[in-house]
Amino acid sequence: MNYYSVLGLDKSASPDDIKKAYRKLALQHHPDQNKDNPHSETKFKEISEAYSVLSDPTKRSQYDQFGRVGGQSPINWNTNSPFDDLVNDFFRGFSYKQRGPQVGGNVEVRISLTLEEVATGVTKEFKFHRLTFCTDCNGRGGETTPCRGCHGSGRIRHAIFEMNCNYCGGSGAQLASHCSACRGQGTREEERTITINFPHGIRDKDVLRVPGEGSQNKPDMVRGHLHCHVSVQNHKVFSREGDNLSCKKTVSYVDACLGTTLKIVSLLGEKLEIELKPGSQHGQVLRVPNKGISDGDLFVKIEIAIPKHVTAKEKKLLEQIRGLKS
């Protein structure tokens, strides 16, 4: 291994060049950032080793003269090295995993509600699928043996810090034979029935979070959450804006001229009588308090129908009206 080429430098590199190159490459190849790449750990070790030699003037001159540094490996991977602080500075905050119990995945379900159900609130029972650890293998996926990479500890100790073993993902175990019940997955899909109360006034795209009803992939894992994504169906008569409802009511031009009592059926089937004043105009909006959703109101938009055809008798009467006007 050529320490200079590992860091992408040549022999003339200044101590500052070395430091910069190391920080850049160490970040790039940090195994925690490259979980899918099994070579990242090797690469990371090479970079760290190159830096430990080239950043030390004595070791560097020894290396420049003899092409190697005395002793076997310039880094003892089991002890802290003098450049701990340098690395910890910029890995702090994201290279250390949060301890505490692992949480299983959240399950997302879509629940469709009618506008009537939204107006009253509704309790619904429904089924959904989530993952549960296989009880045959206790979530391990089969018979396991201690991981060869970390000898079962799940952690790899570097000169600079300790991290999860790349080979077993921190479990310390590797699969020796696959569980037949779950085909080595360690989990199975479970159907769960749940009853949820959707409060009145709930909105489209609201998400109801039910803690502890999500997936649990391993026995020592805390269950994730169930997220109910609410989708409110369109209504053929009423449209909704916040807690208010609106609808249209067609009236004849005669009713609009003379006034009348309009009969309207509310969202929840209540028969309403609304006063239409004489001389009401097309597009005029009548407000009916507290007939919306929750404390919302109902707005009735008046549409005046002009007949396309009139009977001979109607025509005669209309002509008389015209005569009166002129």
CA proximity to 230, closest of 100, 118, 95, 72? 118
Residue whose CB is less far from Zn ion, 155 or 277 = 155
Kindly tell me which of 119 and 179 has the beta carbon lying closer to Zn ion: 179
Structure-block tokens of residue 271:
């028969």
Residue 126's beta-bridge partner residues?
194
Q: Interface with Zn ion includes 149 (CB under 5 A)?
A: yes
| Bridge partner residues of 288 (DSSP) | 298
- 181 or 254: whose CB is closer to Zn ion? 181
Contacting residue, 167, 262, 284, 286, with Zn ion by CB under 5 A: 167
Query: Which class for 230: exposed (0-12), middle (13-18), buried (19 or more C-beta within 10 A)?
Result: middle
Question: Is 168 a residue that touches Zn ion (CB under 5 A)?
Answer: yes
Map the footprint of Zn ion across residues 179-218, applying CB under 5 A: 179, 181-182
Q: How far is the CB of 140 from Zn ion (least distance, A)?
A: 7
- The candidate with the shortest Cα–Cα distance to 215, out of 189, 185, 183, is 189
* Binding-site member from 75, 87, 115, 165 for Zn ion (CB under 5 A): 165
- Can you tell me which residue has the tokens 């005569």? 323
Q: Give the residue with the Cβ less far from Zn ion, 182 or 293.
A: 182
Q: Considering beta carbons, is residue 25 or 168 the nearer one to Zn ion?
A: 168
Site for Zn ion contains 150 (CB under 5 A): yes
* CB neighbour burial string for 169-186, b if at least 16 within 10 angstroms, e if fewer: ebbbbbbeeebeebeebb
Selected from 134, 163, 175, 302, the binder of Zn ion by CB under 5 A is 134
The amino acid occupying position 27 is L
Q: Which is nearer to Zn ion, 15 or 169 (CB)?
A: 169
Residues near Zn ion (CB under 5 A), total = 12
Q: Supply the DSSP string of 91-132, one letter for each residue.
A: HTTTSSPP-S--BPPPEEEEEEE-HHHHHH-EEEEEEEEEEE
Minimum separation from the CB atom of position 162 to Zn ion (A): 12
Is 163 a residue that touches Zn ion (CB under 5 A)? no
Q: Which residues bind Zn ion (CB under 5 A)?
A: 134, 136-137, 147, 149-150, 165, 167-168, 179, 181-182
